[in-house]
């Protein structure tokens, strides 16, 4: 009887569903699943209180159940039914009621299956969709469907936007899903199919304005090929991580709504509740009237050949982030689980009216001030600190409804520094040297033996090693010829990595490196982070190689010149900050900072 009641609830709630995704983290016996939900406010699981409110955020109050999520093993057995609910973390209540939403997360746990499984949440229905030709598609069922093939794998994590606002008539509007993967697996994206997304599936004949960069997980909307000027489009993507053989370890649904609108609509006289956005989820009459008014005011687009339209001026007049705002993909440290940071945006035409966040439970962000700033503060719980990395995403809106790019950063948990004082005994402890450069990293991590006792490199082995390692770990020492072994190749790659980092930023500085976790702790986009990633990759390579005695203190006269030089270029990885050096005659650097064969970027 409980299942029937929950199912009926899902049916009544589903037309107000706005966005959702899953993330799975296993331990030895259980699976922790994090569910992300976004719902229309007042139809959101908080109806008893008139809709989600600030007290629910402060008190971390769970919503009422909004359906049932079901786990099924590959052999067809039920592996769990979980009541779907969430804890609201972010509220949009500054626009018309029909466009308001509640957004949040919640965790649940079930026993880890002994085989692969699927996990699904479904119901009826999505809001009406408008395709690129103006056709309306109603009563489309929705479905979130995850497939887990490796039950011991931590799945990718995505901080999805509750709603993606896209401007009519503007080309190449993008949103970077920015998936993170705790295991460091290769991650790619694809459009979801009917079995995985039901009525939200992608159809290129209906939505040619939408494309997906599957390598970098970036969705692009081209408003110049969309004949409509308003409406809602479904975005249903599956984010997948892969093992070394290219097998899918997990396939995770990410679904949200893209809403098309036309900037420039001015408030009507006396309308205190004016919003720059049309009523996508309410009565269409007001929206049609406003669009007609807009077109009469001179925003009618000129038709061009092949169905494309000229881009209006507002396409390039969106707000921008101020330099104090952490850049997308950067990492901030939360020492002892505590952190505070500020984001600031600037409008080219108006003022910044709000900044929307997708943030962890318990993080608070101040209302945007007159300078366009908001400060976020978080004191993570002990349980939250067990997860090393947490994502936060943000996007600013100005008073005309125009938006900045959607940025995501990583908050990294770091142990707090402590000082112990005793009044009876004075004890002096000599701390182990901090790893701050290639020399301290090599001395600490190149032990001469791997875990099986096989010989590997020590720091002393690198003096004049091969044809690349002239001197003692000098990245600017002249390379005398072709590498003589794999270690010599690694030295060459390290030298080029450092040279690229210094050329991009500035001379090397001491960095912060977590030896226990083998992770670089400085912020992306700095020389400290880039140099640390160069050194870390280099040392990790040497730790699985055995030095060849004849190549130590190598006679440079034996080196064979490498011949004709290629077209060398630097490529910085957007996520790690590592620089790869590549030959631009045969390779290219894609938008994520990965080197690929020419034609694959």
For the chain, which residues score pLDDT lower than 70?
Answer: 1-15, 264-310, 416-433, 563-565
β-strand pairing of 352-358 with 30-40: unpaired
Sole residue written with tokens 């640390």 = 532
- Beta strands at 568-572 and 579-583: parallel, antiparallel or unpaired: antiparallel
Please state, in angstroms and rounded to a whole number, the distance separating the CA atoms of residues 101 and 84.
17
Q: What is the pTM of this model?
A: 0.62
Who's near 541: CB < 8 A, 6+ residues apart? 486, 487, 490
Beta partners for residue 376, in sequence order: 341, 365
Q: Report the C-alpha gap between 45 and 38 in whole angstroms.
A: 10
How many residues are there in the chain? Answer: 601
Kindly report, residue by residue over 514-540, the tens digit of the pLDDT.
888 888 988 888 899 999 999 999 999
**Long-range pairs, 415-419, Cβ under 8 A, ≥24:** 415/335, 415/336, 416/335, 416/336, 416/337, 417/335
Exposure on the CB side of residue 191, measured as CA atoms within 13 A: 17
Compute the distance between CA of residue 533 and CA of residue 521 in angstroms, rounded to an integer: 10
Q: For position 495, what pLDDT does the model report?
A: 93
pLDDT (0 to 100) of residue 565: 60
Domains of the chain: 2-269+278-300 (2.60.40.10), 316-418 (2.60.40.10), 438-597 (1.20.90.10)
Q: What is the pLDDT of residue 73?
A: 96
Neighbours of 482 (CB within 10 A): 16
């Amino acid at each position: 009887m409980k299942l029937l009641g929950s199912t009926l609830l899902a049916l009544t709630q589903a037309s107000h569903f706005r966005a959702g995704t899953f993330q799975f983290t296993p331990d030895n016996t259980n699976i922790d699943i994090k569910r992300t939900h976004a719902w229309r406010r007042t139809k959101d699981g908080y109806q008893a209180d008139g809709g989600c409110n600030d007290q629910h955020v402060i008190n971390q109050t769970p919503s009422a159940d909004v359906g049932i999520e079901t786990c099924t093993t590959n052999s067809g057995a039920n592996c769990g039914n979980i009541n779907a609910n969430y804890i609201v973390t972010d509220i949009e209540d500054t626009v018309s009621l029909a466009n308001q939403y509640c957004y949040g997360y919640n965790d649940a746990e079930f026993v880890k299956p002994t085989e692969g499984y699927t996990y699904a949440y479904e119901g009826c229905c999505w809001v009406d969709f408008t395709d690129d030709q103006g056709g309306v598609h109603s009563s489309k069922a929705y479905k979130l469907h995850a497939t887990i093939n490796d039950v011991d794998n931590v799945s990718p994590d995505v901080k999805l936007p509750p709603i993606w606002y896209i401007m009519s008539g503007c080309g190449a509007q993008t949103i970077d899903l920015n998936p993170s993967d705790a295991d460091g697996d290769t991650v790619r994206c694809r459009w979801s199919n009917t079995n995985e997304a039901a009525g939200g599936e992608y159809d290129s004949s209906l939505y040619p304005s939408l494309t997906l960069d599957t390598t970098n997980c970036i969705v692009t909307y081209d408003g110049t090929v969309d004949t409509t000027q308003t409406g809602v489009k479904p975005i249903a993507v599956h984010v997948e991580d892969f093992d070394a053989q290219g097998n899918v370890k997990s396939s995770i649904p990410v679904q949200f709504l893209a809403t098309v609108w036309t900037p420039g609509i001015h408030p009507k006289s006396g309308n205190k509740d004016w919003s720059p956005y049309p009523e996508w989820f309410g009565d269409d009459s007001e929206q049609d009237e406003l669009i007609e008014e807009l077109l009469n005011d001179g925003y009618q687009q000129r038709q061009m050949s092949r169905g494309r339209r000229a881009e209006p001026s507002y396409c390039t007049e969106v707000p921008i982030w101020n330099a104090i705002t952490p850049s997308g993909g950067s990492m901030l440290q939360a020492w002892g689980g505590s952190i505070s940071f500020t984001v600031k945006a600037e409008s080219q035409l108006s003022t910044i009216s709000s900044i929307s966040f997708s943030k962890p439970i318990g993080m608070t962000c101040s209302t945007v001030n007159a300078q366009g700033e908001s400060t976020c503060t978080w004191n993570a719980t002990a349980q939250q600190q067990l997860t090393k990395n947490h994502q936060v995403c943000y996007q600013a809106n100005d008073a005309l409804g125009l938006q900045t790019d959607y940025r995501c950063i990583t908050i990294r948990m770091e142990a707090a520094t402590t000082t112990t004082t005793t009044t009876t005994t004075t004890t002096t402890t000599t701390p182990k040297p901090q790893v701050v450069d290639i020399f301290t990293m090599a001395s600490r991590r190149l032990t001469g033996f791997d875990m099986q006792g096989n010989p590997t490199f020590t720091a002393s082995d690198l003096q004049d090693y091969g044809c690349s390692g002239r001197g003692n770990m000098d990245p600017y020492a002249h390379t005398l010829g072709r590498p003589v072994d794999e270690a010599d190749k690694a030295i060459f790659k390290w030298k080029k990595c450092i040279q690229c980092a210094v050329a991009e930023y500035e001379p090397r500085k001491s960095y912060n490196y977590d030896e226990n976790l083998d992770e670089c702790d400085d912020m992306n986009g700095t020389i400290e982070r880039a140099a640390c990633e160069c050194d870390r990759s280099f040392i990790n390579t040497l730790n699985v190689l055995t030095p060849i005695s004849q190549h130590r203190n190598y006679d440079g006269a034996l080196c064979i010149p490498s011949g004709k030089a290629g077209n060398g270029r630097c490529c910085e990885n957007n996520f790690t900050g590592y620089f790869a050096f590549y030959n631009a005659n045969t390779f290219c650097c894609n938008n994520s900072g990965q080197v690929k064969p020419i034609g694959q970027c």
